Structure 1
Amino acid sequence: MADTRPIDARGWIFQVEDTDADPDAWLPIAGIDTWNYNPSENEETTETTAFDSAGQYEQDVMQRGASLSLEGKYRINKTTKARDPGQAYIDADWAERVGYESRNKLRYRHETQTVWRVWEATVSPGEQGGSNNDKTSWSATFTRCGAATTMAVAP
């Protein structure tokens, strides 16, 4: 185990698919300073304990789920004053959709990995705010819909 080392949390890359672009494009999400992956969000189980369980609890997982929360700073281009493209797409386009149109794709990986983890997901925009000596906050929570897939990192 002497050759293994922990990886830096800041080495994770998050991108959202811009389905309005022709062809579809992946937009980096800038300004992230905290992220949280919950692999058991929306998990559902059913109890299977029976008399022959000898008093020991048993269950089966009936549904899997996952969520990913990103938090950071609201970003703009200091020259053009345009919003960060990833944050802007999430806030102004994706977060406004409802019904079947509320789904979009998100992908993420660590900079040391050669494969993206890809989700079809819904997004819940987070609160924005700050106080006197703060920068404006930004956040979003993504809830996976269906099973994750993978995509090779393009050279």
Structure 2
Amino acid sequence: MAGTSRPIDARGWIFQVEDTGATQETWLPIAGLTTFTHNPGENEETADTTAFDSEGHYEQDVMQRGATLELEGQFRIDKTTKAQDAGQAYVDGEWSQRLGIDSRNAVRWRHETQTQWVVWEATVTPGEQGGGTNEKTSWSATITRCGAPTTAAVSG
């Protein structure tokens, strides 16, 4: 037998944004996602350390680490109230409008099989929205990590 490890389903990933305007800690799930891309090497910077004594072999030191999450999916609304999904609405209407020191917000994400959240302080860049005659309206955002990632236990 080749072992018991199995690949995990992409649909099992959960992404949430912290509502910093709430009176108590509130995390809003981002609904409607159909794809995501985690790029753990985005914004990495290196310094060339190659010298004569490198004997013709390239050398470098990593000077800066970075990462991004690209989230894409469908623009979602509540069927009854017509309000946009709370997580998407927070990204679009609150977070993406902030500038300077106010532009950062917390996000967390994990797979449903994991017992720890990955938590980032991050900025967001809203993505394009659109669609054709027989399509649903798209929604997307790019989240860029600021500083080192942390973790938090899944509670409840």
The answer to whether 1:9 aligns with 2:18 is no
For 2:134, the equivalent position in structure 1 comes to: 133
Deviation at 1:144, TM superposition (A): 0.2
- 1:24 offset after TM fit, Å? 2.8
Shift of 1:84: 0.2
Cα RMSD for the two superposed structures: 0.6
C-alpha distance in 2 between matches for 1:24 and 1:8: 29
| 1:17-28 equivalent positions in 2, closer than 5 A | 17-28=18-29
Q: Deviations over 1:7-46 (max 9, x none)?
A: 0011000000001111130000000000000001000000
Name the structure 2 match of 1:94.
95
Which runs of no fewer than 5 residues in structure 1 stay unpaired?
none
Specify the alignment match of 2:114 in structure 1. 113
Provide the TM-score with structure 1 as the length reference.
0.99
TM-score between the two structures when normalised by the length of structure 2: 0.98
| Structure 1 residue 74, shift from structure 2 partner | 0.1
Other-structure match for 2:155: 154
Map 1:38-117 → 2, pairs under 5 A: 38-117=39-118
Q: Could you tell me how far apart the structure 1 residues matched to 2:97 and 2:127 are?
A: 13
Match of 2:145? 144
Provide Cα deviations, 1:115-139, integer angstroms capped at 9, x if missing partner: 0000000000000000100100000
SS in structure 1 of the partner of residue 91 of structure 2: helix
Structure 2 runs not aligned, ≥5 long: none
In percent, how many aligned pairs have the same letter?
A: 69
User: How far has the Cα of 1:2 moved from its partner?
Assistant: 1.2
Kindly provide the amino acid, as one letter, of the partner of residue 27 in structure 2. W
User: Whole-Å Cα distance in 2 between the matches of residues 52 and 9 of structure 1?
Assistant: 46
- Alpha-carbon separation, structure 1, partners of 2:6 and 2:27: 30
Q: Distance in 1 between matches of 2:57 and 2:148?
A: 31
- Counterpart secondary structure, 1:55: coil
The amino acid that maps onto 1:87 is: Q
> For 1:41, what is the secondary structure of its paired residue?
coil
